[in-house]
Amino acid sequence: MFPSMLDHYQIQLTRMLESEQYGEAKELLRFLLQCQGEDARHYEEWDSLLTWLDMAFPEDGQGEEEMGFRSAERENDEDEASLREQILNPPDQDDAYVNQVLYIMQHHPMIDQQILALERAAYIQAAGIGDAIKNWLLTAQVHPVVQFKALQCLRKRGVSGILALERLGETVELELSDTPLSMDDFPPPVNRILERTEKAAEVDDPTLPHFVRELWKESLQFLYGTAAYQWMLRDDEGTVDCFAAALHLTLLLTVYGSANDDDVRDTYGISEALRFRYEQACRALRQVSVLQQSGDDEPQS
């Protein structure tokens, strides 16, 4: 695994544990244990943590029929969601609590803490929170991922209307009520790009689809609302192929550190007529990779 990708997944794992997302943490640990070429101590740590999580938060239904298993899995997800909401939505929300959440959201130097504050802000019952978040987005320099999380927070709070923001050097106008809250909320062409890449990547390595989904999910948080995002919404096969190929190339570079551009273009049928559009898609995803590698947890200016 490419070193930057390993660091990224270690950070993701830490965030999942901190936010009580035990089911997702176990899924990620199982995936990491399938990867090859890492230091033996990493596998020992991952295996020990997975064993503890399985004991502390067992999954029901492993010996049941498929429908029963899915039912138990849904119940487990609902229990985790309920526990998470209890943590993010404490009963005592006095002025001190509200002010602390807003201060962390606006001023904390670490991105993950800003995001956690936004998740808490979605449940704050005090008036004026939506206006405070919008004003902050309009007046401060906010990391693109934190911007996206703030847009999600506003939608969860029922805020609607158009908001004009600077994103990746562009001025974009966004309808707050259209902000996707999950991958299923994104328009069909966006998920067709993901599905196309997952199928092709799985042929080379059955572990890659997990990486593809995470990479695409994070890329969308950067690109949402930009010209590149609007372009990918075109409902035609050429656009899907170009972005899927660009995503696959970016994936290989991220995971392995190298990729054969010719092979990728052949896989997705990128003809000379599509070459320029493909390179534009690559440039958009490369911009995201550069921003990611600059450090998700660096202090914000």
Helices (H), 57-187: 66-88, 95-107, 111-121, 129-139, 144-156
Each residue's pLDDT tens digit, 47-103: 888 888 887 777 543 433 334 434 444 555 555 566 666 666 676 778 888 899 999
Each residue's pLDDT tens digit, 230-243: 999 987 899 999 99
| Residues with Cβ within 8 Å of residue 72, at least 6 apart in sequence | 59, 60, 61, 64
Query: What pLDDT does residue 25 have?
Result: 84
Confidence check: pLDDT of 20 > 80: no
Query: What pLDDT does residue 196 have?
Result: 95
- Tell me what the mean pLDDT of segment 276-294 comes to: 89
Each residue's pLDDT tens digit, 102-138: 999 999 888 888 988 999 999 998 889 999 999 999 9
Report field, pTM of the whole predicted structure over 0.85:
no
Confidence check: pLDDT of 38 > 90: no
Determine the Cα–Cα distance for residues 73 and 181; give it in Å rounded to an integer. 21
